[in-house]
Amino acid sequence: MLLAVNIGNTNIRFAAFRSETDIITWTINSKPPRTESEFFAKFSNMYEPFGISKDDITDIVIGSVVPPLTLNVKKALRKIHHFTPMIVDRNTPSAIVHTSNQMGTDLYANAVAAHYQDYHGKKIVIDFGTALTFLGINDDGTVGGVVIAPGIITALNSLVGETAQLPNIELKEPKSVLGTDTESCMQSGMVYGFLSMVEGMIDRINEEAGEKCFVISTGGVGGVYKPLTTKIDADDRLHTIKGLKILYELNKDSIK
């Protein structure tokens, strides 16, 4: 069984692939930073609640956008499983063509997943993560470019943290655009406000691309926005980690 690990700024997501469609997934917080020993203690018992034995895991792939955590996670997993995980990044070989020496592993994995799965034509991948990103990719695997904006939860936490009277709210669709109390006012801003930006960015990217792109959303809150618009064609919260799996499959023979 392959274990794919996506180390993000907010969460570390694990996905154990029993098959292409039978995927067991869970997350832990990325913060505070932990040592190798702390990760070892935390990871040692993480499989049991999901009915997985550590011996079921035969391969591990890690993608990370948090360099200080990468090595400690790798060492902890190696200590548990007694083999070395594969670490992938923007330089891991695939059919994706990009010219950036700054592309994050998550963006690269999103491009890989969009290209190798059953999506056709030009594509836009919207990642509703710690940052809100839009990645444009052509049908031949060439990356057209990226947009980076503040993530929705990041913006909400900043709004609540920097004001004296605004509360934490549940991120859900309000009953109307114009709110009648603080909670619904904030929900409208966070949901409809960001949705308007997302729809506007899709239109702008389509115009620049010269065609209607196929739009895939992923990330923690992508499922909140997909039902509210016809401009997002598919939502897959595991899109990024599927990209890590594909990178592993493309390169596993080269490391054995």
The annotated binding site for ATP is made up of 6-13, 130
Contact 124, 200 (CB under 8 A): no
Contact 183, 167 (CB under 8 A): yes
- Residues making up the annotated binding site for substrate are 104-107, 182
For residue 99, what is the enclosing H or E element? none
- Residues making up the annotated binding site for K(+) are 127
Which residue shows structure tokens 């700054």? Answer: 102
- What is 45-74 written as a DSSP string? TSSGGGT--GGG--EEEEEES-HHHHHHHH
**How far apart (Å, rounded) are the C-alpha atoms in residues 90 and 241?**
14
Which residue shows structure tokens 């067991």? Answer: 24
In the residue annotation, 106 being an active-site residue is answered as yes
Phi, psi of 23 (to 5 degrees): -125, 125
How far apart, in Å, are the Cα atoms of 78 and each of 85, 101, 240? 7, 28, 23
Residue 201's Cβ-side half-sphere holds a number of Cα atoms within 13 Å equal to 22
Return the amino acid letter for 130: T
**From the candidates 55, 106, 118, 139, which is the catalytic residue?**
106
82: left (phi over 0), alpha (psi -120 to 50) or beta: left
**How far apart (Å, rounded) are the C-alpha atoms in residues 53 and 225?**
36
Catalytic residues: 106
